[in-house]
Structure 1
Amino acid sequence: MAPGFVLALVLGLVWALAAPASADATAFWGYWQADGSKWAFAQTGPASAHPKDGSVEGWRFAKSSGNSGTPPRDAPDFGKVCGSTPEQAGAKRVAVVIDYGEAADAPAGAAPPAAKTACASVPKNATGSDVLAKVARPQADKSGLVCAIDAFGTCAAAAPSSSPSATAAPAGKKSTGSKAVTIVIGLILVLAAGGSMMAVRRRAKL
C-alpha cells in the first residue's frame, strides 16, 4: 500500500469524523442594540451598557456557529414601541424587542413564546440589565450571563452553563468523539505496521 494513499485515507477519515462536530451550533440569548434601522451585536454586556433615551435594545434566542449570533426578526423602531410613552423627568425611555426564536432552536420540550416589544421607562443611569428586568424576567448563570428570559432558555430547566456561546458537549457526543479518535489512532497504527512489514519483505526479496 503506497504511503501517499495511506495518508490520504487517514486524513479523509479524520475530516469525516470531525466535520459533524464543527457544524454543531449552540442556542443562546444574544444581546443587540439598534444601529439606525438595523441591529448590531452589543460590544459590551448588558450590565456594562448604558442605553440612552430613545435607544432600542434587542434580545434573540437562536443557534449560531459564529461569534455574534442571530438578530431579532423585528427591525428596531423606537417610535413604534415607545411613541405613546410620555417623557418623565429624571427618566429615559428605551424600547425593547424580545425574540424567543424559532421552534428548531428551542430547548428540548419547550415552545418559544411569541416575540414581544415593550417600552421601559427607567432612571437615567439604568443599565441594559435594568432595562431588560423592567419588561421581562431574566435569569443569569453563575458567570452573570443571561441564560433565560421569562423562564425560556438554557438555564430554565438545566444547570447553567459557563458561556452562552460555548457550552459543554452532551455526553453522547463526547463519547462518540472519543470512540472516533480511538478508531483513527488504531487505524493509523495498523496501517503503519502493515507498511513496515511490506517494506521488510521487499528488502528481503532484494
Structure 2
Amino acid sequence: MLRAYRVAAGVALGAAAFLSLPLPALAAPPVAPGGPAPGAADPGATRSWSAWRSDGTAWLAADPADSPPDGSVIGWRFSVSPEGAAGDSPGGELPSFASVCGRDTAASGHKRVAVTVDFGDGDADAYPGDQPPAQGVLRCVAGAEDATTARLLASAAQVRVNDRGDVVSVSGYPMRERGGTELTAAAPAAPDGPSALLIAGGAGALALLTAGAVVATRRRTRAPAEARR
C-alpha cells in the first residue's frame, strides 16, 4: 500500500513539472549543435534563381533558354531549391501583361514581355548575413522574336551567368555571387517606319534636287537676257 502511494505521488509530481514548462519550450524542436536556429536560413541549403511563366492563373516552371511569345509574363525568383526541385515561384499578386505593358503591339519582328523579379524571403531564402533588395522588379521589355527568358531578364536588370549559362546574380544579388559574366540584354525593338538613315538620305537627295532646279531656272532666265544685248 505504501509503495503504491509513492508511485502515485511520483507520477503526480512529474505531471505537475511537465505542465509548468512554458509552451515555447514544449513546441520547439531540438536544435543540433552547430545547426541553424528554428526559422533561420540554413547556411548549407542550395539556393538558386529559377525561371517561371504565367498561364494567366498561376506560375509554371520555365526554362531560361525558352523563347516566350509576345504578350507573355515571365518571372524570376531567388529561393532555397532542394536538389531536383525548381524552388519557389514569385510571390505576390500575379501580374497581367496589359497592366505592365499596356495594349500597344510590338514592332514587326519583335515582341514585348512583362518581367517580374522576386528576390526571395530575407529569412528563409537569403544566405546568412545577406539581405535581399527591399523592392522587386516589374518591367515591360522588348526584344527580338527569338529572345530567351534569360535575355529578357537581362533587359530588365543586370544579370550575371556562370560558365553553364545559369543565372547566378540579378541586380548584384546575392552579394556572394561575384563571379560569372554579364549577360547581354535582348535586342531592343526598332521603331516602325523608315529608318533615320533612310530619312536623312531622302532629305539630302531632295535638297540636291531643289538646288539643281534653282540653278537651272537661273540659267534659263539669264540666257534670254544676254541674247537681247
For normalisation by structure 2, the TM-score amounts to 0.53
Which secondary structure does the structure 2 equivalent of 1:103 belong to? coil
| CA-based RMSD | 2.6
CA distance in 2 between partners of 1:76 and 1:69 (Å): 20
Deviation at 1:90, TM superposition (A): 2.0
1:141 aligns with 2:162: yes
Q: CA deviation at 1:35?
A: 1.9
Contact 1:147 1:155 in 2 (8 A): no
Q: Greater shift after overlay, 141-150 or 52-61?
A: 141-150
Post-superposition Cα deviations, 1:167-202, rounded to whole Å, max 9, x if no partner, equal: xxxxxxxxxxxxxxxxxxxxxxxxxxxxxxxxxxxx
Displacement after TM superposition at 1:154 (Å):
6.9
Residue 109 (structure 2) aligns with: 90
CA contact (8 A) 1:28 1:154 kept: no
Q: 2:119 matched to which residue of 1?
A: 100
- Give 3-state SS (helix, strand or coil) of 2:155's partner: helix
Higher percent of residues as helix: 1
Matches of 1:64 and 1:142, distance apart in 2: 20
| 2:208 matched residue in structure 1 | none
Higher strand share: 1
Ranges in structure 1 where 5+ consecutive residues have no aligned partner: 1-16, 161-206
Match of residue 66 from structure 2: 49
Stretches (4+) displaced over 3 A: none
State the shift of 1:50 in Å.
0.7
Distance verdict in 2 for CA 1:144–1:52, change over 3 Å: same
Work out whether 1:40 is the aligned partner of 2:57: no
Equivalent of 1:125, from 105, 121, 146? 146
Deviates more, 1:58-67 or 1:116-125: 58-67
Kindly tell me: are residues 64 and 125 of structure 1, through their superposed partners in 2, closer, same or farther at Cα, counting changes over 3 Å?
A: closer
Distance in 1, Cα, partners of 2:176 & 2:104: 33
| 1:139-188 CA-partner distances (Å, limit 9, x unpaired) | 1122221111011027524x67xxxxxxxxxxxxxxxxxxxxxxxxxxxx
- One-letter amino acid of the structure 2 residue matched with residue 28 of structure 1: S
SS in 2 for 1:135: coil
1:70 is aligned to 2:88:
yes
Q: What secondary structure does 1:68 align onto?
A: coil
Structure 2 contact 71–111 (Cα < 8 Å) conserved: yes
Alpha-carbon separation, structure 1, partners of 2:104 and 2:45: 39
| C-alpha distance in 1 between matches for 2:160 and 2:112 | 23
| C-alpha displacement of 1:138 | 0.9
- Asked if the contact 2:52–2:89 (Cα under 8 Å) also holds between the matched residues in 1, the reply is yes
The CA distance in 1 between the partners of 2:175 and 2:168, in whole Å, is 5
Q: CA deviation at 1:125?
A: 1.6
State which of 50, 54, 57 in structure 2 corresponds to 1:30. Answer: 50
If the length of structure 1 is used for normalisation, what is the TM-score? 0.59
Report how many residues are paired.
Answer: 138
Instruction: Measure, in 2, the Cα distance between the counterparts of 1:155 and 1:143.
Output: 18
Q: In 1, distance between residues paired with 2:103 and 2:174?
A: 31
More contact order relative to length (CA 8 Å, sep ≥ 6)? 1
Larger Rg: 2
